[in-house]
A = this chain, B = another copy of it.
């Protein structure tokens, strides 16, 4: 056998055991359902991309977090760190794809960042994007689809917040800040939620020393410029129309401002028309989003009942990304659901339906000599569409088999010993009865031995009875 190998995982990675894996799949199927209702179609791209495709798209920070891949030849390769760059490559490569191209993709991505609580080096993104659409209607649709998705997942209260890079660029003009500083300024503004206004102002201007004693350099923005940025950051309101009015007033006379304010205003109006009010979507000019390639509206979503999980959705318009490959601008907008973050939040809030897809029946095996009968019952139930497992451990010891069913969350156990067989009968035990009697003083031994929730039925009624019991339990 050789030396024993430690069954270790690389740090920042994790396994999803059945309950978590089932919950993750439940999320994915729900999201897929909404995206398909919106007419988005699927696309799959490989996890490995050529390094020149990956690097230089989303900014230097992102490039640094790419895992390199070494194959049998000397090609420089990497694991994708997001799905948007691969979509841009696909759009450039298959010119025959119809446009608008509205696609969804759910897949793993990898980032070689420092792992942290709830922050993994491999995680799942679920993206929707509309490619080839300059109109803000595409942005409206992404935001609306996100609301419908979060509603379908019953996450409780949430807020989608949106703004636009156009507004932020207008802010630079308004404040008299050089456009060359845009990326740095936006990166600092993106920290507003996390650091608060005071520290953001310090980082924009003179810098400061943080709690751990590390110096945080400032960007050298003047006090007067920082005042204008603060004015902009304070236009926020729960009333989207009010935010639009304040922006119009603040940017009055600023070159190009009218068009940018009109665009975020149009999105607000369309959302209102479709029933997405301020209880779901806020126009929040402070939203910047980190990635370098955004060119227009940007958006994100947070769960109000679990804000500590951060944004579970983020995206924006990126009209220049395809041009990296094609030499020609193709307008595009879209966003990404952080499936693992959403999973963590839903599990934390206990909002994932349990037992989805788990077996409904365990056929217990009391004796190897009864194996054929157990096999026949198992397949009979499966052929009736009932999710059925036959106990494959050592036959005998019923207590152990009940315990196994209980741990797996299987509600019903089918038992047939030699006496039942002789009578043409079979017993069905409803393990949910145990939970119903849990308020009494009985321990497991008592209720198993006392045959709580156990009834004998005719063998030929097996499937019918099981179906009835499952319907009852669902009530």
Contact = CB atoms under 8 A, between A and B. Distances in A.
Interface in A44-71: 44-50, 52-53, 56, 67-71
B71 A39 contact: no
A325 interface: yes
A141 B389 CA distance: 10
B70 A10 contact: no
A45 B18 CA distance: 11
A441 interface: no
B75 A71 contact: no
A69 B67 CA distance: 7
Given A10-B71, A52-B6, A71-B10, A270 B375 contact: yes
Interface stretch (A96-104, A165-173, A228-236): A96-104
B137 A371 contact: yes
A133 interface: yes
A70 B67 contact: yes
Interface string A94-115: 1001111011000010101000
A38 B68 contact: no
A463 interface: no
Given A99-B393, A324-B1, A379-B274, A44 B70 contact: no
Contacts of A144: 379
A406 to B, nearest CB: 10
A224 interface: no
Interface stretch (A20-28, A251-259, A420-428): A20-28
A399 to B, nearest CB: 14
B375 A14 contact: no
B7 A326 contact: yes
B77 A71 contact: no
Given A8-B53, A9-B50, A46-B9, A388 B17 contact: no
A381 to B, nearest CB: 9
A437 interface: no
A327 interface: yes
A2 B56 contact: yes
Interface stretch (A85-93, A178-186, A193-201, A453-461): A85-93
A325 B22 contact: no
A45 B15 CA distance: 5
A317 interface: no
A18 B37 contact: no
A370 B375 CA distance: 63
Nearest to A386: B37
A382 interface: yes
Contacts of A376: 273-274
A417 interface: no
Given A132-B393, A379-B274, A122 B71 contact: no
Give the number of times this chain occurs in the complex, counting copies: 2
A146 interface: no
Nearest to A15: B45
A72 interface: yes
Nearest to A73: B11
Contact of A325 (B5, B75, B135, B387): B5
Contacts of A110: 47-48
Contacts of A71: 10, 67, 112, 121
A18 B1 contact: no
Interface string A428-469: 000000000000000000000000000000000000000000
Interface in A28-47: 32, 36-39, 41-47
Contact of A15 (B10, B43, B108, B270): B43
Q: Counting chain B CB atoms within 10 Å of each CB, which of A10, A39, A137 scores highest?
A: A39
Nearest to A138: B392
A16 interface: yes
A407 interface: yes
A44 B67 contact: no
A213 interface: no
Given A2-B56, A140-B375, 16 more contacts: A1-B324, A9-B50, A13-B48, A17-B43, A17-B97, A18-B103, A20-B44, A47-B47, A47-B79, A47-B108, A68-B69, A69-B70, A99-B393, A130-B392, A133-B392, A138-B392
